[in-house]
Amino acid sequence: MLTSTKLKLAYAGLAIADSLLSGSANPNAHRARALTKPLLMPTLAASLATNPNAAKSPLRTSTLIAQAGGWGGDVLLMGHSTQTFAAGSGSFALGHAAYITGFRRNRAATPQPGPKAVAALWAVTAPGMIVGAAKQDKTLGATIAGYSAVLASTVAAATQLDPAMPKAARRLSILGATLFMISDGILGTRKFLLKNPPPQLETAVMATYTGAQFLLSEGAARA
């Protein structure tokens, strides 16, 4: 079995474990996440870096940089203060900037359908979370406004990949970016719109997030 495949399996195990731990009401489960969550992105990045099929992928470097930004966000969001939340969102935004850069460098020569639908989705879903965050703290409102716009831009950029790129790579990239947006939508709803959210929502956040990162990584590997 290839090293890359072993690392993918390890990532899947970590993702499942961390998703389940995140939704547990047991304090010991959350303490265990100090081990599982920081290992997610390094393991996924290692699987991409060691994948021989991805060696010449035009999305490889940008995706590895994006995964580093994701790791920073994962670690910072383990804190509970407004400052760590803003810093974690900033780290994720840097990761999305890397995804966007990679997608734009490999975009189609002519515009492809998708961005208008993404913009409409953002316009429908983001304002409520922005207002809810601003009610808690003005800094959070500005953070969510900026971050959600960057995330929507990642999805839009993924829809513009060159049709000459393998279809699987394009589809996985679009699905991954879209799932990332869904994950953050669940996170924003839980954190800013619901007064007493069920703990299982955090499991949904992590399951969709880890799935999104995996799909984006696979998209890069097949490009």
Instruction: Assign 157 to helix, strand or coil.
Output: helix
Query: Please, where are the H alpha helices in the chain?
Result: 3-22, 27-49, 60-76, 82-105, 115-136, 138-158, 167-188, 200-221
Residue 110 predicted with pLDDT over 90: yes
Residue 147 predicted with pLDDT over 90: yes
| Domain count within the chain | 1
Residue type, 44: L
Which pLDDT score, from 0 to 100, does residue 115 have? 96
Q: Per-residue pLDDT tens for 150-207?
A: 999 999 999 999 999 999 999 999 999 999 999 999 999 999 999 899 989 999 999 9
Which pLDDT score, from 0 to 100, does residue 80 have? 84
Which pLDDT score, from 0 to 100, does residue 82 have? 87
User: Per the confidence metrics, is the pTM higher than 0.85?
Assistant: yes
| Percent of the chain whose pLDDT exceeds 90 | 93
Find the domain containing 127 and state its range.
3-221
Which pLDDT score, from 0 to 100, does residue 107 have? 98
CA distances to 8, 26, 193, 197 from 135, rounded to whole Å, are: 40, 29, 10, 17
Q: Confidence class of residue 1 from pLDDT cuts 50, 70 and 90?
A: confident
Distance in angstroms (rounded) separating the CA atoms of residues 217 and 5: 13
| Percent of the chain whose pLDDT exceeds 70 | 100
Residue 118 predicted with pLDDT over 90: yes
Residue 197, both tokens: 């959210």
Measure the CA angle with vertex 138, ends 136 and 142; round to 5°. 115
Q: Per-residue pLDDT tens for 47-104?
A: 999 999 999 999 999 999 999 999 999 999 998 888 999 999 999 999 999 999 999 9
Q: What is the mean pLDDT of residues 105-128?
A: 95
Residue type, 94: L
